[in-house]
């Protein structure tokens, strides 16, 4: 039995004992146990609470149990006015996060000054059309800005120009860049550096040069320890940009918001169609839906951009109502995929849930290839296809063994291709595929007692501040005069070597789960589907996987599984949207 199931059973038993101690009858005790079991299982599945339809049959018995009640009564389980049932800590976290977000949204900064206004119009000389200029204008007028869009819609370009406008008004602004994972942070750093050349040199020189993980920014240690930065010891920042914000869960989002001073601008970037956070909550999905601009604010933004007022009247990004109204802008025009490109058509078909259209995209061949397979494991031809994807990495390894000991070409070659799996276990999961590919790269020397061998890519599985390695960081095991060593990017454009004995928990990284690939981009990916359908297979998972690719996607698995996945939408239970609306209506002090 898994640890999660054991925890759920233990909490269910505890709820029954509490109910019995409070003098409840047998029926109420059983209802309390069922609720405790369901809540822990729901949280493990990413839900913040149980929905009203799940609690309805037991609601009266739950109230009679003494374990559940309205928020003000202080019971272990909270039943809100809409009939949602929460663990008390999750209810409190949701309320605190909503209050923090609304306060930041309602606290308006000073209007943009002449320098920012002039630079905004200079940087966007072309007529409006894809929402980027609107996003910059909105963020100049708010302390909370949510910029959403799919791959290649220009989120990083937008934020580079936004930071330039902010620096034009306030050259000494303290700005930080962060993301939930090290890979996403590194990509944000690289992308922003690439955009710096488009900006005035004096402003480009002031852009932040480094991006880090949110865990590092907040000073989060091992699980259970309080972060270094919190409400009593806030971060010293004027602006914080968080990329891949769709990966923010309820707990991390709350820690982040409470660690930011009231006057800090928070800019969240992400793709609402991607997989949501592994932990409970769907914070970004809720915020990204808040894209309705009030008429007076539309006129203000049009004036700031130098547009005629009617320009904003028919734009699609003003049409979606939401609890925070004017906090979000959605970018829709992809600059990476041409309108008729196979990858672009595939991504749009998946977003729309058009499974047959998605299969038709693969049938066209070229950049997209579908290898129909239904066995318990991949066959030899399929593994040959995966090994061929890593041919550039194998060539770079050969150059290293010939004495050209520069890790940069190896990392560059390894990042051109990745195998993505929907599941961890099984021969078509991460563990099975990694074992097979690692054996193919191991060579006659075999592995060391630690399981390491030259050429093995690895992924760190837990945060370890002592080595400055964090969950999701990718390294390469290479052999030099000192023997085997693990190399990692140092965050400053170079690489550092660690001895194998210093490595925290790791796993091979030829293949990774789609969840772990978020924040990454590769020239090509191979998506391995499981042998049979699974609740893990969803529209969001397949969309996230294929949009990791810049050029090519290889799909290995049954076509009918793609159809089933495209029809399955992940819905997270939670009340954040209602809490935001309530605090917004209350006009917090």
At 273-323, the pLDDT tens digits run 888 888 888 899 888 875 566 667 777 888 888 877 666 665 544 444 566
CB within 8 A of 341, min separation 6: which ones? 367
Higher-scoring residue by pLDDT: 299, 269: 269
Q: Which residues contact 424 (CB under 8 A, 6 or more apart)?
A: 430, 431, 513
Phi, psi of 419 (to 5 degrees): -90, 125
Edge-to-edge strands, sheet with 417-421: 368-371, 549-556, 522-528, 417-421, 511-513
Residue 155's nearest CA partner among 121, 173, 179 is 179
Q: Is pLDDT at 343 greater than 70 in this prediction?
A: yes
Asked whether the predicted pLDDT for residue 225 surpasses 90, the reply is no
* DSSP 3-state of 538: coil
pLDDT by residue (tens digit) across 129-174? Answer: 567 888 898 899 999 999 888 887 888 889 999 999 999 999 999 9
What phi and psi values does residue 417 have, to the nearest 5 degrees?
-145, 145
Say what the pLDDT of residue 187 is.
84
Residue pLDDT, tens place only, 426-466 = 889 999 999 999 988 876 555 666 678 888 999 988 878 78
- Average pLDDT of the chain? 87
For residues 540-566, give the mean pLDDT: 92
DSSP-derived letter for residue 199 is S
The pLDDT value recorded for residue 481 is 83
Phi first, then psi: what are they for 489, rounded to 5°?
-65, 140
The predicted pLDDT at position 493 comes to 75
pLDDT for 367 beyond 70: yes
Residues 6+ apart with CB under 8 A from 148: 155, 269, 270, 271, 272, 284, 288, 328, 329, 330, 331
From CA 182, how far away is CA 201, in angstroms rounded?
A: 28
The average pLDDT across 34-63 equals 92
């Amino acid at each position: 039995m898994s640890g999660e199931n054991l925890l759920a059973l233990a909490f269910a038993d505890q709820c029954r004992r509490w109910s019995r101690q409070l003098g409840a009858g047998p029926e109420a005790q059983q209802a309390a146990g069922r609720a405790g079991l369901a809540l822990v299982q729901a949280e493990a599945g990413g839900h913040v609470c149980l929905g009203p339809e799940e609690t309805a049959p037991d609601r009266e018995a739950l109230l009679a149990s003494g374990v559940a009640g309205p928020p003000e009564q202080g019971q272990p389980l909270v039943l809100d006015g809409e009939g949602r049932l929460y663990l008390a800590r999750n209810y409190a976290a949701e309320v605190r996060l909503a209050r923090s977000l609304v306060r930041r949204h309602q606290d308006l900064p000073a209007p943009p000054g002449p320098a920012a206004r002039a630079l905004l119009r200079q940087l966007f000389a072309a007529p409006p059309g894809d929402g980027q200029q609107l996003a910059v204008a909105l963020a100049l007028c708010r302390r909370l800005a949510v910029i959403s869009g799919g791959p290649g819609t220009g989120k990083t370009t937008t934020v580079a120009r936004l930071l330039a406008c902010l620096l034009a008004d306030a050259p000494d602004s303290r700005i930080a860049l962060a993301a939930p994972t090290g890979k996403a942070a590194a990509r944000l750093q690289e992308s922003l550096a690439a955009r710096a050349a488009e900006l005035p040199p004096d402003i480009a020189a002031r852009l932040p040069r480094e991006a880090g993980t949110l865990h590092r920014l907040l000073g989060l240690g091992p699980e259970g320890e309080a972060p270094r930065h919190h409400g009593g010891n806030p971060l010293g920042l004027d602006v914080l940009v968080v990329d891949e914000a769709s990966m923010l869960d309820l707990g991390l989002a709350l820690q982040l918001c409470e660690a930011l001073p009231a006057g800090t601008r928070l800019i969240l970037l992400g793709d609402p169609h991607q997989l949501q956070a592994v932990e409970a909550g769907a914070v970004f999905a809720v915020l990204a839906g808040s894209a309705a601009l009030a008429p007076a604010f539309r006129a203000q933004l049009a004036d700031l951009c130098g547009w005629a007022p009617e320009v904003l009247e028919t734009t699609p990004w003003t049409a979606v109502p939401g609890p925070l109204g004017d906090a979000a802008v959605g970018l829709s025009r992809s600059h990476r995929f041409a309108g008729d490109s196979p990858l672009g058509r595939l991504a749009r078909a998946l977003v729309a849930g058009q499974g047959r259209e998605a299969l038709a995209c693969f049938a066209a061949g070229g950049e997209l290839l579908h290898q129909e397979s239904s066995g318990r494991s991949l066959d030899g031809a399929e593994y040959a296809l995966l090994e061929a994807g890593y041919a550039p990495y194998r060539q770079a390894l050969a150059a290293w063994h010939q004495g050209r000991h520069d890790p940069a070409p190896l990392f560059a070659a390894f990042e051109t291709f990745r195998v993505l799996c929907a599941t961890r276990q099984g021969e078509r999961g991460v563990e099975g595929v990694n074992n097979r590919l690692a054996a193919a790269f191991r060579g006659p020397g075999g592995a060391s007692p630690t399981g390491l061998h030259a050429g093995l890519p690895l992924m760190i599985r837990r945060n370890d501040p002592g080595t400055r390695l964090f969950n999701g960081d990718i390294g390469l095991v290479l052999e030099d005069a000192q023997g085997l060593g693990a190399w990692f990017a140092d965050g400053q454009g170079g690489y550092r070597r660690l001895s194998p004995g210093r490595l925290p928990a790791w796993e091979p990284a030829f293949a990774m789960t789609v969840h772990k690939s978020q924040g990454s981009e590769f020239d090509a990916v191979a998506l391995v589907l499981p042998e049979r359908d699974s609740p893990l297979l969803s529209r969001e998972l397949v969309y996230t996987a294929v949009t990791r690719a810049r050029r090519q996607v290889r799909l290995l698995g049954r076509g009918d599984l793609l159809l089933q996945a495209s029809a399955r939408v992940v819905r997270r239970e939670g009340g954040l949207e209602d809490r935001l609306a309530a605090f917004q209506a209350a006009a917090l002090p």
